[in-house]
Chain A
Amino acid sequence: MKEVVILSGKGGTGKTSIVGSFAALAQKKVLADCDVDAADLHLLLNPSITEENEFWSGQVAVIDDEECTQCGLCQDVCRFDAIKDFRVDPVPCEGCGFCSHICPVEAITMKESLSGHWFISDTKYGHLVHARLGIAQENSGKLVALVRQQAKRIAERDGLTYIISDGPPGIGCPVISSLSGANLALLVTEPTLSGIHDLERVRGVCHHFGIPALVCINKYDLNEDNTHQIENYCLNQGVEVAARVPFDNAVTEAIVRGLPVVEYSPGRATQEIESLWQHVTCALEQ
């Protein structure tokens, strides 16, 4: 069993369109949407949810008005400015429990908080594990880890060959959580200066954690000078450019129809994504 995670650093470079297409191209796989705070993969795969679970994680402080003597010690020690006028604002509260330990009259208790939901779904392409972090919630890294764990469990149970994960943008907590221990990262970038800058940062994260990476330049023909710059960067870093996907209106049209682009149009983008999946399977076998 091999796991590939699709990342980009910069958002909106085409991760989900690529993963949706891999879903249609790959045999014996389970899909994981690790972008838990803005998940989009389900919009291409038309899943029917077979299992829904609550994600309880972290705690929130609650002050009992009747016990509270308004001494103000909790407000003084809280480093997250979560307590004002002897009330806890659950949004900034990081659940550290400092206030509950020092309250002289034990008026503060810590309550488990419902931070989101996670799902196992059936799609015509196989199982999909996905999640929905609650609005303005923390612990996205833990929810990502849970999604990957479930995908792995399904892969082991069903004897599957591949776990294909749609990763979040950025380089922080949820990205590291989606990457650690994976076999391969596919970095999808675009030929803009922002795309190049963000590719360098996310490639740095892969390097830091020792995860091999491949690069896909999406919409490469929008600025061929920048595409050359990306190719030079990859050459210098010893990272293979596995695909150059041309700009193709079919990609957006497929999103509007809720389909992976490889199932919508036999055009230029589809051909390149098919060859990209071949590259990825070869890299995973190494």
Chain B
Amino acid sequence: MIISVASGKGGTGKTLVATSLALSLKERDKVQLLDCDVEEPNDYIFLKPAFTRSEVASIPVPEVNEEKCTHCGKCAEVCAYNAIAVMKQKVLVFPELCHGCGACGYLCPEKAISEEAKEIGVVESGSSDGIGFVHGKLAVGEVMAPPVIRQVKEHTSREGTVIIDVSPGTSCPVVEAVKDSDFCLLVTEPTPFGLNDLVLAVETVRELNIPCGIVLNRAGVGDGKVEEYCRKENVPIMLTIPLNTEIASFYSRGVPLVEGMPQWKASFLGLSDKIREIVNERSSDTER
């Protein structure tokens, strides 16, 4: 089962939920945590994994063999991203615009274009106290997070529970990380900002046809509008975490909630049971 943890608004507690869910579940299931927030990966701060493997994350970008090139201009014509410009005597490649689709190389009549790997980040894997751990890091100055996320997800385990920590927002990195999940947990807080971004996040996971539920964090601040919205839209609130200085203090020091306050383990196990119930119900519905 793959559970992704997303949010819309940043800073609502995705990392707290993803790490505590993984730590609670590992006692009864095989667990893997994939940190797909490759722009700002934070899970490793909490789980302190021992990394055993590091691989370069890259995208294929064109390399033009000037000896074979006749400057016909076909590559520039087919490139949808203006990543190649053909001059009279020279071809210019702009790797930062390239999406690595491969059209230019395939369509070059002279077979003058090969591909080289452009490094855009790193994917590190290892384990933390029985939890399989993989994360990606987009290199500073690079723009394209989705290929790094794809490379992290290539490590997805086929057994047990896989937890995916997602970046904030609703655009392409979020879609890349969340797609193919069996369930998406949306972490929010009861403020107008939390609600505004939750609505967008719910629309996004619905677009992907993935069932979702809410973790309401810092309950006690703000207002009751998130609960109102969830009732109206029939989105279940599956766990409520109160605003609490002790919880905030553990978080600030990089201590997972269920390690600092083990009494929370039961709540996270309960959360996982509820998710499993919804996922099983849905799969038996599709079978019927």
Contact = CB atoms under 8 A, between A and B. Distances in A.
Contact of A12 (B10, B102, B221, B249): B10
Given A10-B40, A59-B80, A79 B252 contact: no
A91 B100 contact: no
A69 to B, nearest CB: 20
Interface residues of B, number: 57
A265 to B, nearest CB: 15
A123 to B, nearest CB: 16
21 contacts: A11-B10, A37-B169, A38-B9, A40-B9, A43-B196, A95-B80, A96-B103, A98-B106, A135-B170, A135-B203, A140-B172, A169-B10, A169-B11, A170-B40, A176-B141, A193-B42, A194-B42, A223-B249, A223-B253, A226-B252, A256-B192
A58 B168 CA distance: 23
Contact of A38 (B8, B138, B191, B207): B8
Contact of A136 (B78, B170, B192): B170
Given A136-B171, A192-B251, A197-B45, A256 B200 contact: no
Interface in B1-34: 7-12, 15
Contacts of B208: 91, 136
A214 B269 CA distance: 43
Interface string A185-197: 0000011111001
A198 interface: yes
B144 interface: yes
Given A36-B171, A79-B100, A222-B252, 7 more contacts: A37-B174, A43-B193, A80-B101, A169-B168, A174-B171, A192-B251, A193-B252
Nearest to B45: A193
B99 interface: yes
Contacts of A174: 171
A2 interface: no
B252 A96 contact: no
Given A16-B193, A95-B80, A96-B103, A37 B40 contact: no
A194 B141 CA distance: 20
B39 interface: yes
A37 B203 CA distance: 12
Contact of B143 (A59, A95, A172): A172
B132 interface: no
A258 interface: yes
Given A91-B175, A135-B204, A96 B140 contact: no
A208 B10 contact: no
Contacts of B40: 9-10, 169-171, 194, 197-198, 201
Contacts of B138: 171-172
Interface string B162-200: 000001111111110001000000000001110011001
A38 B170 contact: yes
Interface of A: 8-13, 16, 35-38, 40, 43, 58-59, 77, 79-80, 91-92, 94-98, 101-102, 133, 135-138, 140-141, 168-176, 190-194, 197-198, 201, 204-205, 208-209, 222-223, 226, 252, 255-256, 258
Contacts of B251: 192, 194
B235 interface: no
A169 B207 contact: no
Q: Is the interface of B mostly helix, strand, loop or mixed?
A: loop
Interface string B138-151: 10111111000000
Q: What 10 A-B pairs come out closest when comparing CB atoms?
A: A11-B10, A12-B11, A96-B101, A170-B39, A98-B103, A193-B254, A204-B140, A192-B252, A223-B252, A208-B141
Contacts of A222: 248-249, 252
A194 B15 contact: yes
Contacts of A133: 170-171
B11 A10 contact: yes
Given A12-B11, A79-B100, A137-B171, A40 B252 contact: no
